[in-house]
Amino acid sequence: MTQPILVCRDLSKRFGHTAALWGANLELREGGLLALLGPSGCGKTTLLRLIAGFEMPDAGEIELRGRLISSPSHTVPPEKRGVSMVFQDFALFPHLSVGANVAFGLPRGVNKQARVAELLALIRLESLAARMPHELSGGQQQRVALARALASEPALVLLDEPFSNLDPSIRADVRDEVRHLLETVGITAMIVTHDQEEALSLAGEVAVMMDGEVLQVGTPGEVYARPVSRRVGEFVGAANILPGKLEGRQVECELGRFAVDAGFSGLADVMFRAETLAISAEGGVAAEVTDVDYYGHDQMVTARLRSGAEVRLRLLALQPYAIGQQLTIAATAEPLVFPRQTPPG
C-alpha cells in the first residue's frame, strides 16, 4: 500500500450558524481516482474548496505529500499548493484563446508552445488552439478545462461536478474519455458528484458524504453491496426497506426468512436492492402492481404486499405489467440488515 498523497483530518467548517463540514476525514492514494458522492448540501463542495485552498477550515488539517497545507492557523495559498481545479462551469478564461487558456498555468522556462501542443493532442483538439472558448461545444470546453488543469503537472486535480453542465446524451462518452485521460496521465484526481451512477462507474474508490461527514470509503462494489448504514445504502442505489426481526443468524420479514451475517439482534431494517427481487413461478409472496415506470432497457415495477408495504422491482422490459396485476415475488439474493431506525419525521 502506497503512502496516501492527501490526508484530511477532522475537518470542520461553518458558515455563520450553518455547519458545512463536521469532522470529515479522507485519504487519497497516489494515482487514484476518488469520487466524493453525496446529496446536495452535504458539504462535498466545501471539502473540495478547502483542499483547493479557497476556504480555511475552522478545525482539522490537510496534508498534501506529507506537507501541512491547511489548518486553522496555517494556510498555503491556492497558487502554492499544486492542486488544480476543474470547475462545474469549466471557468475557461473568456478573453483568452484555447491555447492561452491551457498555457496559463505553465511556469516560466517551460517550452510553452510544445507543452500546449502536447496537451491539445492529448485531448484531440490540436486544431483548435486559436479558437476562443465560446466557439467550442460543451464537451470540448470540458476537455480544455481538464487540459488546462493538467498542464503544470499538479499533485492533485479536483473536479467539481464536471459533467453536470453537459448534455445527457454525451455525458457517458465524456465520462469515459475523462477517466481514460486521467489514467493515461497517471494523475491523482478527486471528483465531486451527486450522481450515484457517475460515481460508481467512474471511480476506483467512492467516498460517501452526508451531513458534513464522510461516512464510507470503498470500492464502488463495496459501497453498493455493503453500505455501512441504511442511509448510505438508500442513497447509493434503489432500495426496499422492510421491517424485520433478527434472531441469531436469521432474519425474518414479509418476504421470508434469510440467513444473514449481522452483529446485532432484535428489530431490524431489512434492505433488498430493487434488482434482487424477482417474479417467481414457484413460491414467494403475493403482491399487486401499483405503478410501472418503463425505461426501455428495463422497468421499475412498484408492487404492494399484503401488509400494505410497497416494494420496487427492477425487471427487464421483456414483458409488460399492468396496474392491478397480481404477482408472486421472491428475493433472489440475501438482504442487508441494519438496526431498526424510527423513520424521521
Partner 1 sequence: MALALAQARDRLNRAPLILLALAALVTAAVLMPPVYLVWRATESSAIWEHLSDESTLRALGRTLLLTASVTATCIALAVPLAWLTGRTDLPLRRFWTVLLALPLAVPSFVGGFVMVSALGPGGLVQDLLAPLGVDRLPSIFGFWGAWITLSVVSYPYIFLQVRASLSRSDPSLEEAARGLGNGSWRTFWRVNLPQMRPPIAAGALLVALYSISEFGAVSMLRYDTLTPLVYLQYTTSFDRAAAAVLGLPLIALAVLILGLEGMTRGRAHYYGGAQPRPARTMELGSWRWPGFAFCALVALLGVGLPVAVILYWLVSGLSAEGTTSFLAAAAVNSTLAAALAALAAAIACLPVAYLSARHAGRLASFFEKASYAGQSIPAITIALALVFFAATYATPLQRTLGLLVFAYTVRFLPEALGAIRGALLQLNPNTEEAARSLGAGPLKTFARITAPQALPGVFAGMLLVFLTAIKELPITILLSPIGFDTLATEIWSATSEAFFTRAALPSLTLLLISAFAVLIMLRRERLT
- Residues at the interface with partner 1 (CB under 8 A): 14-18, 20, 41, 52-54, 77-81, 83-85, 87-89, 91-95, 104-105, 107, 148-149, 151-152
Minimum Å gap between C-beta 79 and partner 1 is 5
Q: How far apart are CA 40 and CA 58, in angstroms?
A: 21
Q: Scanning the structure block, which residue is given the C-alpha cell 447509493?
A: 236
Cβ neighbors of 14 (< 8 A, separation 6 or more) are 20, 58
Q: Which of 155, 145, 152 is nearest to 101 (CA)?
A: 145
Contact 147, 159 (CB under 8 A): no
Cβ proximity to partner 1: between 95 and 297 the closer is 95
Between 85 and 270, name the residue whose CB sits nearer to partner 1: 85
Output the nine-digit C-alpha cell for 148: 488546462
Which of 181, 184, 217 is closest to 199 using CA atoms?
Answer: 217
DSSP state of 87: -
Nearer to partner 1, 53 or 233 (CB): 53
What count of other Cβ atoms lies within 10 Å of the Cβ of residue 266? 9
What is the distance, to the nearest Å, from the Cα of residue 149 to the centroid of all Cα atoms in its chain?
A: 21
- Residue whose CB is less far from partner 1, 87 or 340: 87
Q: Nearer to partner 1 by C-beta: 71 or 280? A: 71
Minimum distance between the CB of residue 187 and partner 1, rounded to whole angstroms?
14
CA–CA separation, 277 vs 312, rounded Å? 8
Burial grade of 240 (CB within 10 A; 0-12, 13-18, 19 or more): buried
In whole angstroms, the minimum distance from the beta carbon of 205 to partner 1 comes to 23
Q: Which lies closer to partner 1 via its Cβ, residue 20 or residue 202?
A: 20
Residue closer to partner 1 by CB (options 165, 201) is 165
From the CB of 160, what's the least distance to partner 1, in Å?
Answer: 9
Q: Shortest distance, CB of residue 307 to partner 1, whole angstroms? A: 39
| Matching residue, cell 404486499 | 305
Shortest Å, Cβ 211 to partner 1: 13
| Shortest Cβ 152–partner 1 spacing (Å) | 6
Instruction: Determine the Cα angle at 111 with ends 109 and 114, to 5°.
Output: 165
